[in-house]
Structure 1
Amino acid sequence: MKAVIMAGGKGTRLRPLTSHTPKPMVPLLNRPCMEYTIDLLKKHGITEIAVTLQYLPDVIRNTFGDGSHYGVSLVYFEETTPLGTAGSVKNCADFLDERFIVISGDTLTDIHLSDAIRFHDQNNALATLILTKVESPLEFGVVMTDESGRINRFVEKPSWAEVFSDTVNTGMYVCEPEVLSYIAEDREVDFSKEVFPLFLQEGQPLYGYSAEGYWSDIGSLEVYRQAQFDLLDGRVNLEIKAQEIAPRIFLENHVRIDSSVRLEGPVYISENVHLQKGVAVGPYSVLGSNTTVATGTKLAQTIVWENTVIGKKAEINGSTLCRNIRIGESVLLGEGAAIGDQCRIGSKSVVKAGVKIWPDKEVEESATVHTSLIYGTKQTKNLFGTNGIKGIGNVEITTEFVTRLAAAYAYLLKPGSRIALSACSHPFAQLLKHSMMTSLCSSGVDTVDFGMGNAPLMRYGVRGLQCIGGIHLYMAEPLEEKEVVIQFIDHAGLPISRDLERKIENAYWQETYVRSLHHLGELHVEHHVQDAYLRAMAEHIDVARIQRQRFHLLIDCEPRFLPTFLAPFFQALGITVVYGPIQEGVSKNGADLGIRLDKNAEQFSLFTEQGQKLSTEQLLALQLLACSGHHQRIGLPVSAPMELEHLAQLLQIEVVRTKVAPRSMMEVSVDERFHPMFDAVYSLMRILSYLAREEKPLSVLLELLPACHMERKTVFCPWSSKGKVMRKVLEENKGKMLELVDGIKVYDVNGWVLILPDTEESHVKVISQGATAETAATLASSYARRIAEYQ
């Protein structure tokens, strides 16, 4: 049996560690990560190994050579262009003339490969994925198998709503040579995105082996550090090549330690390290070869690569230092700091927590470094949430932040691309818009300023002016919280895909920008989007009927933009409007309807002439009725009641069940100029058209709507337990009718319940429908209890 070690990764999320070092070569206890992979293969009798290379290939070749020093035979295959995971393996086709295992050179694992190979053989599998359980599956592929281990579903890099299990693909595969015939030559092909889905589609024997043992994907600085802590703690069943002179204190050869030095385990000290008088080395410190630590210095949870000199009386806590670094006297390095190769940190300087300094930089004496040099630090969570990017104005969302964000976005666009921008009427939102505009233009991207607006206007304008995308900013409600929301729109007027969000996040974290004086973008101002939007809307409603009805409305909305924007339109339709809070009473004002428009004009609440507020389900049903004859296809979220699907069928509207995310619902009717579920003004106009046609007050029409009994609960659930909870829900409900469009929807004789992990908070949402209100409440409470117990 042969093996393929995937060793082409750049490790961009590990920078500055990987600026001069391929990801498989980052040291773990003074040995390259890939060396542990070679040792594991050799331990299981696999010694003929192909190594795929791309980024800094000579570093790997020069270190491992032909493999004879490690007791194996290595053959290298270099990619001149990225080929993807499967394409890389195809590139080794001449070598792979028998069964082979694919394994990553940048993961740390002690998984028993022979057991996985035996499982593969017993099931006559074409390919077997080695699986493991993790706390947070978002960066991996979630895999589901039947009782025999045959794979029936997997989702690559899921959102929390798609996390059906905490069992993930490790990227290790046992394959028959026939797998290569499914991979095209000389082009980028991915196992999890293309090859394995094809196997599922064709019914090929694709299996998943759930492995015990340790597995860590060295994908971030935090995970890189933790992997070494786990090695020191003995959690990984791999050899530590050093002498254990005391419990969990490991020393290599030729170490010079002054008698006054204090060592507190677990620690690892490599060969030719010199610890001078009064040095204190605290737990979870790793010192690479030829490191010198001068008198009086204190280290704790500090990882140092080779050939580094640390001056007197320095204090370094929780930092990572690469090669050939010089740290001056009395330097203070904060927790989470990372210093690249060949840096010089001057005496008495301070590098604050979380700061990253790229290679070959110099920090002057007595300087304080608050922010990363050249490249920024990775955020602790994703920039994007369910509805764009949110943060406190002038605290989290600043002009500096949006300038960098726009530059990251521009990096992904072709020069000369045209991007639309708009903002709500708040002065700070307008200020942020101009900062983004400047950043985009300086990056060679043309911008179109729509002025004041909202999300539906932005969506309409992007499509009408054939822009490649758009950005809208607004201050969320309530205004006292000062929360800013930034929404990115694609060329079709939809919220951008999660894939593009990830690319923007990566470009932002790496500060990968492109700016040139020779390619500046142009700035255009577009004044007519609002008029065009309202004219087009008038073509989609029954203007004459609405005019005859002479509606009188009470509207509660933000006071700066919407009343001015809507006034001419309402006047042309013969609608009189009172603007004010709904609390003052719809009936008191003699209004036919009460409407509370949200700040961004995407959602609204509706009140009858008697002041009764419509439930979420009632409003959805009314929107469906109002769409009849005008919209042939509507996306309804899996959380919507079944009665709405039946109502849509009666109205001859095709319903597609979607995820709860706005983009998923909008994609179903992407060709529509207005989306009734995410354009409050358009939806209101359609409802007024419907009421004018029926010539009945809303309170009467409500009695004709289907009755729905729903219950909603929110259960606290730590991020680390969400995957486990979803797996337990699946295991407990095996054999029942399940729907896995978004979260896990379990059907019951009494109704259904939807388990949906929150994408932004430490919560799991429980939504249920029952034949009665009591049934719905019982279902929701039952699952809420179970979720708490699973944790």
Structure 2
Amino acid sequence: MKAIVLAGGFGTRIQPLTNAVPKPMLPILNRPMMEHIIIKLRDELGITEIGVLLYFKPEIIKNHFKDGKDLGVKITYFLPDDDYGTAGAVAFAKEFLDETFIIVSGDLVTNFDFKNIQNFHEKKNSKLTITLTSVENPLQFGVVIANEDHRIERFLEKPSWGEVFSDTINTGIYIIEPEVLDLIPYKHNFDFAKDLFPLMMKQDIPLWGCSESGYWRDVGNPESYREVYKDIFNGEITLPYKGYAKEIDNGIVYSESGVKLNKKVRVEGTVILGKNVFVDEGVTLKNCIIGDNSKIGKHSEIIDSVLWDDVKIGVKVKVNNSVICNDNIIKDESKIPFGVIMAEKCIVNKKVSFEKDIIMWPDKEIEASSVVSANIIWGNKYKSSIFEDGAVVGRTNIELSCEMTTKLAEAFGTILPQGCNIYVSRDYHKSTFMLKRAFVAGILSTGVNIVDPYNVPSNVMRQALSKNEDVIAGVHLRQSVFDPTQTEIIFFTNEGLVLDSKLAQSIERIFFRENFRKVKYDEIGSITEDKNLRELYIKAIEDSFDKTLFKNCEQKVAVDIMNGSTSDIYPRIINELGIDNIILNAHRREKGKSNDIVKTQENMQHIVRGLNLDCGFLIYPNGHKLQVIDNKGELIYDYKLLLIVLALLDKSTDRKLKVILPAWAPDFIEYDHIEVYREKLSNFKAEQLKEYDLIADTDGHFAFNEFGLNRDSIFTSFKILELLKKSGKKLSKLHKDLPDFCYKGENIPCPSSLKGKMMRKFLEDGKDKKISSVDGVKIWMNDEEWILMVPDQHNEYLNLYVQAEDEKSAGRIFYSYQDKIEKWISE
């Protein structure tokens, strides 16, 4: 048998540990992670011929392992000339792979019994065997279901929480027969999970799953790297130590050559010292690893921590549960007690204190006596992704500093064609004015041109973006509606849709690697102004409606602009359409103060009642969300507003309309002229959305295809007035006529580590009932009552939605599943 070790990944999620080295070279017990894999292949399977697939920083791996002779193996390197995916990369080694071979990633730590996997493969006479295991958080892996005979029946690569159907995952360890390589096209992007496995299943070639229950950890982020060491010291996995063992005090020290360990050193647990390490008197070492050529000053403490090579620790320094990378200097009396990740070549001056879980990027210097309370680049805690649903959100001038914003712009500009045009717009706040300037500088440096519409609502820019073929993308900066200390930077495609997850990941990869495109001085981008977007938008809405329809009616409306960017747009449109109106809070509010939504709703209810108006609208500050008060002064809940709009559409048309809603939208009403589709509302292309007349959700967001594919509360408000006029109905009547039912959404705390288990438990619980897994898991109690569970993508809780005939029935369903969830979590 031969082996292929995959060693080409960028290590984006584990930044900044991989800033200077590829992920397989991260040290575990003072030897690269990948070296442990090679030793395991040699010792357990007797493999001596190993192919290593390279891509990112290949010279570092080659320089360390050379031809493999020092490890008693022969290594052959393969370096594809492009990124061809996991299977496509293996195809480069096709001539080498002339017998059964095993594929293992070079960036994992495991004690799986490779011999057992080999025996399973041979017993099943398998062409391709996938090693499976159960994990707490399956999001970053391929989720798998196999039957009782271990044949794989279902496979989903890197799902969202709403798509997870099991906590059994593909570990990326495969045993393959060479003829399978004939299915992989040469020099094409081809992935095992996305392409090869579905192809084999389509051709009815069995995929077999060998389940292993030992230790397996994909070292994907800094926290998981730290956890590996905790597991080693706790005895959950045993790996070979380097050096000679010696018992000292209450511990054992493994030392390599050249170590100078003062006799007055206190030792607890296991300590591993690399070559030429110097430890001075009075030092306490507990469950720690110290790399080559490092020095520890007098009376310092290194506890539950990893120090890489050439680290200099001063006098009376405390390091606890932290990772300190190469070439760092930490001076006297500094305290690093709560899990710091410090990338290489940093200088920490005297008496610096770090707070919990700080990430420090390379080449930083901290002034003496500083208190470090935030990451020194991004975020108040480690994030595997800086994007959330096409946006980057952070505290202004803290996470979203000018430096951070410029780098983000450079990364975005790098994925765009040089010389293209993009819109960059903002609201009127000082914070977005500042950050927009930083963003503009970054974009221009990549040779991308900016069309500047200044301060307009995001829906105005998106409308223009979808119409202007000369502009290929858009970015909008705005202050958060709910937290004025935060700024949101939202990215849009040329179709006016938010950036999908694939593009966001591409930007992140460039951001973390800082692999920005730098153009020559005469290729720097230019800025042009376009102040016509507002006028074009106003005209587009006015042209969408029959003015005589409104002028001949007696509708009286109150509108709260909520001090938003629509303040110089909405009043002009409503007056031009001839609608009798009262406008509230149309002035701009520069001072940072969040909107009190409940108070705003209550004020509007009093106004509509007191003045006997036909309705009241709340237009959220950037024009993306709408709330409505009926003519009796009752707030229409968002999900009921959706049902009212659908009812109005159904009564106003003779043709068949197509509407797309999220999986959790109420579904107990049948319509004569509306065909409703329920899908996962993300990563759609414009061509797909154009098939639908309305895209909506249960949170007050509506996009009418006749005007555009983007959420727009301004257009929606006038569309509702038009439909009311045509129907001759009052809002309160439509509100009252909704069938009696109960619809509620709640969230239940759940650690991310257990979300996969919850999805599996829900599926198992609903196996005898009607069930759907379009987004999350929906279980029907009867024809109209159901519960839907969708794990939240970004927070540690589960979203539960219940539809039932009344409050009592909804409570019974909800609380029964709440009890089940609590029980499943505690198991």
Tell me the TM-score normalised to structure 2 length: 0.86
Match of 1:656 in 2: 677
* Secondary structure of 2:816's aligned partner: helix
Question: Is the 1:90–1:180 Cα contact (8 Å) retained in structure 2?
Answer: yes
Match of 1:455 in 2: 458
Question: Is the 1:377–1:509 Cα contact (8 Å) retained in structure 2?
Answer: no
Question: Is the 2:253–2:273 Cα contact (8 Å) retained in structure 1?
Answer: yes
| Distance in 1 separating the partners of 2:73 and 2:480 | 61
CA change 1:678–1:56 in 2 (3 A) is closer
Match of 1:274 in 2: 278
1:311-710 maps to which residues of 2 (within 5 A)?
Answer: 311-323=314-326, 336-337=339-340, 343=345, 345=347, 348=350, 350=352, 354=358, 356=360, 358=362, 380-381=382-383, 382-386=385-389, 388-466=391-469, 467-478=471-482, 481-516=484-519, 517-559=521-563, 561-580=565-584, 581-627=603-649, 629=653, 632-644=657-669, 646-647=670-671, 650-651=672-673, 653-661=674-682, 668-669=689-690, 672=705, 674-675=707-708, 678-702=711-735, 705-710=738-743
| Distance in 2 separating the partners of 1:344 and 1:719 | 32
Question: Is the 2:319–2:336 Cα contact (8 Å) retained in structure 1?
Answer: yes
Match of 2:170 in 1: 169
Alpha-carbon deviations, 1:400-420, whole Å to 9, x = none? 443333233223222223221
CA change 1:442–1:221 in 2 (3 A) is same
Match of 2:269 among 245, 265, 270: 265
Question: Is the 2:86–2:190 Cα contact (8 Å) retained in structure 1?
Answer: yes
Match of 2:287 among 271, 284, 289: 284
AA aligned to 2:145 is M
- Which moves more between the two structures, 252-261 or 167-176? 252-261
Question: Is the 1:110–1:236 Cα contact (8 Å) retained in structure 2?
Answer: yes
Alpha-carbon deviations, 1:439-490, whole Å to 9, x = none? 32243221222233323222211112232221223333346x5443332211
Give the deviation of 1:108 after TM superposition. 0.8
AA aligned to 1:85 is T
AA aligned to 1:612 is E
Match of 2:194 in 1: 193
Match of 2:702 in 1: none
* Secondary structure of 1:591's aligned partner: coil
Could you tell me which runs of 5 or more consecutive residues in structure 2 were left unpaired when the two chains were aligned: 585-602, 693-704
Question: Is the 2:563–2:621 Cα contact (8 Å) retained in structure 1?
Answer: no
AA aligned to 2:41 is L
| Distance in 2 separating the partners of 1:392 and 1:348 | 29
| Distance in 2 separating the partners of 1:379 and 1:631 | 49
Question: Is the 1:595–1:604 Cα contact (8 Å) retained in structure 2?
Answer: yes
CA change 1:619–1:145 in 2 (3 A) is farther
Percent pairwise identity: 31
CA change 1:78–1:589 in 2 (3 A) is same
| Distance in 1 separating the partners of 2:164 and 2:337 | 35
CA change 1:626–1:422 in 2 (3 A) is farther
Question: Is the 1:494–1:666 Cα contact (8 Å) retained in structure 2?
Answer: no
Question: Is the 2:140–2:159 Cα contact (8 Å) retained in structure 1?
Answer: yes
CA change 1:400–1:327 in 2 (3 A) is closer
| Distance in 2 separating the partners of 1:588 and 1:284 | 71
Q: Find out whether 1:740 has 2:765 as its counterpart.
A: no
Question: Is the 1:103–1:171 Cα contact (8 Å) retained in structure 2?
Answer: yes
Question: Is the 1:587–1:609 Cα contact (8 Å) retained in structure 2?
Answer: yes
AA aligned to 2:642 is L
Alpha-carbon deviations, 1:362-393, whole Å to 9, x = none? 96996969699997789522333347333444
Give the deviation of 1:394 after TM superposition. 4.5
* Secondary structure of 2:78's aligned partner: strand
| Distance in 1 separating the partners of 2:295 and 2:35 | 25
CA change 1:371–1:14 in 2 (3 A) is farther
Match of 2:590 in 1: none
CA change 1:17–1:563 in 2 (3 A) is closer
| Distance in 2 separating the partners of 1:786 and 1:82 | 45
Match of 2:22 in 1: 22
* Secondary structure of 2:495's aligned partner: coil
Alpha-carbon deviations, 1:536-566, whole Å to 9, x = none? 2344434432332232112223235434312
Alpha-carbon deviations, 1:604-656, whole Å to 9, x = none? 12222112333334321232345565884322110012235x32xx21x4433
| Distance in 2 separating the partners of 1:323 and 1:20 | 9
CA change 1:760–1:589 in 2 (3 A) is farther
Question: Is the 1:233–1:266 Cα contact (8 Å) retained in structure 2?
Answer: no
* Secondary structure of 1:452's aligned partner: coil
CA change 1:533–1:203 in 2 (3 A) is farther
| Distance in 1 separating the partners of 2:340 and 2:244 | 29
1:123-134 maps to which residues of 2 (within 5 A)?
Answer: 123-134=124-135
1:726-765 maps to which residues of 2 (within 5 A)?
Answer: 726-749=759-782, 751-765=785-799
| Distance in 2 separating the partners of 1:438 and 1:53 | 35
AA aligned to 1:380 is Y
* Secondary structure of 1:471's aligned partner: strand
* Secondary structure of 1:474's aligned partner: strand
Question: Is the 2:389–2:501 Cα contact (8 Å) retained in structure 1?
Answer: no
Match of 1:183 in 2: 184
Could you tell me which runs of 5 or more consecutive residues in structure 1 were left unpaired when the two chains were aligned: none
Give the deviation of 1:521 after TM superposition. 1.7
| Distance in 1 separating the partners of 2:410 and 2:643 | 43
CA change 1:459–1:228 in 2 (3 A) is same
Question: Is the 1:132–1:167 Cα contact (8 Å) retained in structure 2?
Answer: yes
AA aligned to 1:103 is V
Give the deviation of 1:189 after TM superposition. 1.9
Give the deviation of 1:508 after TM superposition. 3.6
AA aligned to 2:170 is N
AA aligned to 1:640 is A
| Distance in 2 separating the partners of 1:495 and 1:624 | 25
* Secondary structure of 2:428's aligned partner: coil
Question: Is the 1:411–1:514 Cα contact (8 Å) retained in structure 2?
Answer: yes
* Secondary structure of 1:586's aligned partner: helix
Give the deviation of 1:754 after TM superposition. 0.6
* Secondary structure of 2:81's aligned partner: coil
Question: Is the 2:389–2:499 Cα contact (8 Å) retained in structure 1?
Answer: no
* Secondary structure of 1:163's aligned partner: coil
Alpha-carbon deviations, 1:309-330, whole Å to 9, x = none? 5455544444434456666666
Question: What is the aligned residue count?
Answer: 782
CA change 1:667–1:434 in 2 (3 A) is farther
Question: Is the 1:496–1:663 Cα contact (8 Å) retained in structure 2?
Answer: no
CA change 1:2–1:40 in 2 (3 A) is same
| Distance in 2 separating the partners of 1:398 and 1:71 | 51
CA change 1:412–1:109 in 2 (3 A) is same
Give the deviation of 1:289 after TM superposition. 3.7
* Secondary structure of 1:82's aligned partner: coil
* Secondary structure of 1:91's aligned partner: helix
Match of 1:50 in 2: 51
Give the deviation of 1:261 after TM superposition. 0.9
CA change 1:83–1:591 in 2 (3 A) is same
| Distance in 2 separating the partners of 1:600 and 1:236 | 53
Tell me the TM-score normalised to structure 1 length: 0.89
CA change 1:585–1:145 in 2 (3 A) is farther
CA change 1:620–1:377 in 2 (3 A) is closer
Give the deviation of 1:355 after TM superposition. 5.2
Alpha-carbon deviations, 1:182-238, whole Å to 9, x = none? 211023322122222333444442233332111122233332232233223221143
* Secondary structure of 1:44's aligned partner: helix
Give the deviation of 1:333 after TM superposition. 5.8
- Which moves more between the two structures, 252-261 or 507-516? 507-516
